[in-house]
């Protein structure tokens, strides 16, 4: 009998997202700002709230959020965007772990 079991997800065993989509999703400074704001907020945000915080139009932020969603870096529920909780290592330090890399996001509005 050939069975495999997977270890439960823990801080030491963070689920991994596919590498190439993460690299593509993190390729622009605006997306880093968006992630910083989502991490700093500590709660889900609407597109217009994120746009105000990063100083861009809601349309532009929406397009960048679509790329981040496609990569699995953010999720949306009832028009509220957030980083999936399983990837946030330390919200107060703005550390996010996607499995391949640990992001130390800059303070919001930097």
CATH assignment of the domain containing 80:
1.10.10.10
For the chain, report the end-to-end CA distance as a whole number of angstroms.
55
Is 41 among the domain residues?
Answer: yes
Structural domain span for residue 45? 15-104
Distance, in Å, from the CA atom of 87 to the CA atom of 11, rounded to the nearest integer, reads 9
Is 33 among the domain residues?
Answer: yes
- Number of folded domains that form the chain: 1
At residue 15, the pLDDT reads: 58
Is 74 among the domain residues?
Answer: yes
39 forms beta bridges with none
CA 28, 82, 110: angle at the middle one, nearest 5?
45
Q: Model confidence over 11-63: pLDDT tens digits?
A: 455 557 778 888 888 889 999 999 989 988 889 999 999 999 999 999 999 99
Average pLDDT over residues 66-82: 94
Q: Model confidence over 78-109: pLDDT tens digits?
A: 999 999 988 888 767 778 887 777 788 877 65
């Amino acid at each position: 009998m050939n069975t495999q079991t997977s270890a439960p997800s823990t801080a030491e065993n963070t689920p991994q997202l596919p590498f190439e989509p993460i690299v593509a999703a993190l390729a622009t400074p605006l997306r880093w700002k968006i992630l910083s704001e989502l991490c700093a907020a500590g709660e889900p945000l609407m597109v217009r709230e994120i746009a105000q915080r990063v100083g861009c139009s809601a349309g532009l932020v929406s397009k960048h959020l679509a790329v981040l969603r496609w990569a699995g870096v953010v999720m949306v529920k009832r028009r509220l965007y957030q980083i999936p909780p399983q990837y946030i290592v330390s919200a107060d330090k703005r550390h996010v772990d996607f499995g391949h890399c640990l992001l130390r996001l800059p303070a919001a509005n930097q």
